[in-house]
Structures are given as structure tokens and as C-alpha cells.
Amino acid sequence: MSIFVGIGVFLGAPAGVSSQERLAESATNKAIAFEFGDPNPWVKNSVYSVYVDPSNTVVWRSAPAAPTKIDPLNPAISDLGPSNFWYAGGQTNGCVGRAFLAQRPLLVCPDTETYQPGERERRDGPNGAVFLVYDDLEVDLKRTNSEREIAGRTTRAYALTLSYSARRLDREGNEVGREELAYAHRLWVAEDLPYSPAFTVPFRAMGRLFVEDQRTGLGEYIVATLHQALHQKGLVLGVEMRRKGVEKPLYSMEAKRLVRGSRRLEQPVDYPVMEQSDFHRLLSMLALDDVVKSVDEDAPSRSDFSATIGAQTSAPMPGSAVYGSNSSGDFALILRVPSTKWGDKGASERELFLLIMRPTHGLPQPGDYQAANLPKDLELLPVAEIEEVSEVFTVLAMVREKHADRPHPTIHALWRVKSGELAFAGPDEAPRPKKHAGKRMPPEPRPGTLAGRVALTLTGITLGDDARPVELKIAGAFLAAEGLENVGTSKISQLLQP
């Protein structure tokens, strides 16, 4: 892999515009507002409105004919809705985060551990999975002598040229195709206005970040490179994306209706910020939570679970347990504590679901086991290593805490195992969960039940007033009832199918 960047253009201010002049204008004109037409040729009547001040960028999409009460020079976040805008500022460390609603409003940013050219990217197609590798990347950004007026501002053309190899590999890593690609894009920059990453939003929304392949890590890598290159150059008001040697652009976009004001954003965004990969895991956990609540509604009368969450001194919480397997031998055990009054300070209720899985091996035999994490690129492993990995128990868990004095719950989404001990008992050694005060006696072990204990330390993300890493201990004893139907086929079972 080689990466070439036009170093000269990345350093210093553009000729004819001093940094003092730009800062003086930015201080006087604290806000800029304009519109981008949607560059997606398949989307009609869509407009991206942009607000920029020295500390904030806000972008929202709407139909141009739709009535709106939003002041373009002072957009109120409450008017935009909880999931209808993009934001960049100090809270997001300058990256563009998209607002989403997942139990509460939050901002989702690209991962900070960015893709590197040469890494494999999986693509699923009608004939199975293939893997793409982009390498030999060259990126060059040069300031040119071309000028044009956009939205009443003089803009300077910056030539962005890209070239790279796109290789297609099969699962064994054999090359099955190669394409050499080159682009000659043009960015129109108002050098007397402060930089904003707003110009990337419409292209990210359509999944085309300076390359034609949809939603690639390569595109995010190029955007991160451009952000570093352009943040001292000015405000991008126009973009033309084209293949090298082809005059007609693939996509184009330019600003309209640019106005300036003296106020700064009165209602900055205070949403928690989460990285994209963590957000996708959170969505999966929330979907699992909905499924768990609908599983075997009579399980509480046929099973028992006594769990402690966090400090071992906390009182055990009562719940239920249910297990099952499918024809491929994929085993799943769900341990659940419904919403329960909780005595610790600050929280009024707490609930838990814990999902323990192992593929291909069916019901576990009595004994002690360890939980672990699956490899990141499971589908790239040889069959022998996948068979070895199939012996591992994996764990997912979610703890939801409802606080009487807060509008949104705190969610601990846990998907990685730091340490995990599992014990499944034989018929003569089945542990019985403790009797819960004021509750029924736990059922006696009998055919169609599975008893055991768990002692886990799990890590993941806590989503509350902010989003941050979390480590949580969960322990307990269970007597699970058989009755979990429709256990889905695991990825490992699919990979091991002939």
C-alpha cells in the first residue's frame, strides 16, 4: 500500500487569505446558513439545510416546499426532532454524528479506529460471500487557479485525485477479480469562510463517499484524510465527483441561499455520542430484548433464576430461565429478571436479560465451562479452526435501569466476555436458587429442566447521560425450563454446512 498526499497544499493558509483575516471575519459573522441540493439522482425534492458557526455544524434534510418554523441562523434542536439531523462540534470531536432515537436520543459517529487500506471487507451476494481489498491507494489534493461564484461567494477549485486497486477474494483468500480505479474530483472552497464537514453529509447519506462502492471503509478513510487536509482551507460549497478522464460528473452538489448572521447556536446538542459499531450492537441487543420478553410466557412458573448484578453485596433478584436447541445442535439459554424494584441509590427499577449460546453441540453435558468471545473475522478461518471455535460458549447481556428522576433509562449493553465461568449440573447435583422473600419456592429439578450457575464479568457500553465503556459482574444460579423454540441457526453452523 502506498499513500501519497500533496503535502504542500495541506500546510499553511491559501495564497491571498491570511489566517488573521479569516479569523476576523469568523469572529464578526458567527453564523452561516445555506442549502445543498441532494446529490442523489434518485431522490427528488430533497434539500440539506446547513448551519455553521465557529463551534457547531448542524445539518437537516427536508422537502423545499414543506413549511418549516426552523430559523436557519438559529436552528432549535427541539424543532428538528430527536432523529432528523446531523451534528458536528466539540462534543463529537469534530466528526459528523447522525441523530438517532434508540430508547433515548443520541448521536452516532464513525468509528475512531478507522479502516486502513488493505483490510478485507465482506460483501454478501446471491452466490455467497466475497471479500474486497482496496490497496495501492494514492490521494492527492491540489489548489488550482480556477475560480467560480457559488451562492454569492468566490470559491477556489481544489483538485482531488484518487487511485487504487480493488481486488475480489473468495473465502480462502484467492483472488477472483481485480479492477484499477481512478477518480478526478473537484471541491469548490470559499477560502474566506471557516471549514465545516457539512459537505460530506449528503454523500454519506447516499452511501457514496468519494468512491462508487457503497458504504466502504475506504470512503470513510478518505473523508478522515480530507478533514485533516481542509480544516484550515475554508468552507466547501461545491463538490463534483467524476471518474478520471470522464467529463460528466457522477454526482454533483453546490450551495444555494447563503446568508450570514451574528448569533451562535443557542441550543447546542447535548446528546450522548456513540460510535457506529457500538450503535449497531446496541440495536441488536434492543431487538433481542424484545424477543426475550415474548419467549415462553409461562417460564416463570416452571423455572427459577436468582441473580446479583454488580457488587456481590447487592441483594439477589428473582427471575426465570428457559432453554432450547435446534436441529443443527445450536443451544441457547435465556436468563431473565423482569423489571424489579432496586434498593441502590438513584435507580428505582432494574431488569436483566442474559443470553448464553453454543453452536452445533446441543445440550451441554454436566461440567464446568468457560465463556469467551468469537474471533472478529470468523468467516475467514479455516474449517478446522471454526470447528474448534464452535466449542465456545458466548454471552450477551443487557441491564436496563429506570431512574425516577431521569426521563430516559440507563442501558448497559454487554457483548464481550472478560471472564466467564459456567457450570451445568447433573441430576443429583442440581443447585437450587435461593428462596426469594415473599415468593414461591423454586421448583424441584425434574426432566425437561437444566440447572447450573454463572459467574461472569462482561464489558460493553453504558448509555445514559453519555455513552462510555462499562464492566459489570453478573452471577447467579438457575433452574431452566425446556421450551425455547425456533432457535435460529448460528453463523458457525451455516459456515460448517457442506
* Whether 370 contacts 420, CB under 8 Å: yes
Q: What are the helix (H) ranges across 175-275?
A: 201-205, 217-230
pLDDT of 252 reads 94
* Whether 178 contacts 168, CB under 8 Å: yes
CA-based torsion, 11, 16, 17, 21: positive or negative: positive
- Which run of H or of E encompasses 495? helix 491-496
Phi-psi category of residue 197: left, alpha or beta, with phi > 0 → left and psi -120 to 50 → alpha: alpha
Grid coordinates of 212: 462508487
Residue ranges in the chain modelled with pLDDT below 50: 1-28, 346, 435-442
Grid coordinates of 220: 470513510
User: Taking Cα atoms as reference points, which of 71, 33, 36, 29 lies closest to residue 54?
Assistant: 29
The pTM for the full model equals 0.83
* Whether 134 contacts 169, CB under 8 Å: no
* Whether 360 contacts 329, CB under 8 Å: yes
pLDDT of 68 reads 65
Cα end-to-end distance, the chain, whole Å: 36
pLDDT of 292 reads 75
pLDDT of 346 reads 47
d(CA 205, CA 196): 17
d(CA 164, CA 2): 9
The strand pairing partners of 140, in sequence order, are 161
pLDDT of 334 reads 92
d(CA 298, CA 65): 53
- Which run of H or of E encompasses 368? strand 367-370
User: Torsion angle of alpha carbons 90, 286, 333, 484, nearest 10°?
Assistant: -170
d(CA 237, CA 147): 12
d(CA 386, CA 224): 35
DSSP state of 485: -
pLDDT of 300 reads 62
* Whether 143 contacts 11, CB under 8 Å: no
